[in-house]
Amino acid sequence: MLGEGGDGHTGSLLYSPQGKALARLAATPNGESTLTLFDHTTGRARAGLGVAATGEPALALLDQSGRGRAELSLDAQGKPSLALVDERGKPTAGLSKVQEPATSPK
């Protein structure tokens, strides 16, 4: 199905033979684009890939309840970061851009 939603997003949906949403490709008026993949048994989003209007990409993984649990992204300078959270949304691990060590004057 192709079309525009009431929120101004345009895109398309891919459905299973049973009529459940499997994937959604969407774009916003400001230039953001997303691909969302759904669990065919529950209909909940499980993974998302997006590119912000400013060009930064991100990949998100969601648990069985649809809560975000992991995100891999690049900032505007291309530096990567990884964030992992538990079922309550509390950070459990993360990696971000490495800071260069400060040099002391000689």
Render pLDDT for 47-99 as a digit per residue (tens, 0 to 9).
Answer: 999 999 999 999 999 999 999 999 999 999 999 999 999 999 999 999 886 66
Q: What is the pTM (predicted TM-score) of this model?
A: 0.80
CATH for 2-91 is 3.90.930.1
Q: What is the DSSP-derived secondary structure letter of residue 29? A: T
CA distances from 92 to 36, 72, 87 (A): 24, 14, 10
User: Domain boundaries in the chain?
Assistant: 2-91
